[in-house]
Amino acid sequence: MFIQNCIDILSRYWSSILLGVQTTLYVSLIGTFFGLILGLLVGGLRAVKLDYTAGPVARFFKKLLDVIINVYITVFRGTPMMVQALFLYYALLHVFNWTNLTAAIFVISVNTGAYMAEIIRSGIQAVDIGQTEAARSLGMSNAQTMMSVVLPQAIKNAFPAIGNELIVNIKDSSVLMIISITELMFQTKSFAGSTFHFTEAYFIEAMIYLILTSIASLILNMIEKRMNQTAYITVPMSDTNPKSAHYITRHTAKGGR
């Protein structure tokens, strides 16, 4: 009877389930992408050390920025995403006049950004300080050092945690049904109430989430293995013209120097 009820639900509501899966993946992927961009920005700014040789104005704004970043990370890591979704959706509804889907993407993005910031910061701190010193000795600016040397290694070091955030977002997107986006949980609740087969409906939902996260894990593991196979090291080389420089990329095997 259980199996037959599951088959009946799938045959009757497959289009609703497919819509829910599409919305879940859309919100999760886009939210994770923007969350990563936000995390790179916030984590990079947080990892920058305060330069005490700078002027008092620069030191003031750096300290102020650190306070704002700490408050942002503390708030969004310390409160449930469901509460964030309800508060931000209704608080900003008349400001942006946004749709439920746009609000859902925004909530996932800012929530993920707080976690990504800490992930990126730890990844940056894990990069050997000698890498930065070597880049500086070769004449690279702070921005060039961060973009060409530190961040690529930091992202590589933090990639497992970054990928885990995507998997978490696929599952946690279910709480966004609270603002009525048509993701998988919302659709499942709808046809579960219509059929009164709650056990079968939520079993199907659980299996779909398991399949989605398993596929995501497989893809992320493949990407991680590919990243670990080859390392790209970019260093500046001055040519005969002292006013110009070019870059060469040396491919090294994993663990090579």
3-state secondary structure of 207: helix
Name the pLDDT band for 217 (thresholds 50, 70, 90).
very high
Fold entry, domain 2-253: MetI-like fold (1.10.3720)
Interatomic CA distance for residues 184 and 18, integer angstroms: 8
Rg for the chain, CA atoms, rounded = 23
pTM for this structure? 0.84
Q: How many residues does the chain have?
A: 257
Q: Which two tokens stand for residue 168?
A: 């978490």
Q: Give the C-alpha separation, 70 to 78, whole Å.
A: 12
Amino acid identity of 30? I
What is the per-residue pLDDT across 154-182, written as a single tens digit (0 to 9) for each?
A: 888 899 999 999 999 999 999 999 999 99
Summarised one tens digit per residue, pLDDT across range 25-40 is 999 999 999 999 999 9
Rounded to whole angstroms, the maximal C-alpha distance in the chain is 81
What tokens were used for 198? 């709650």
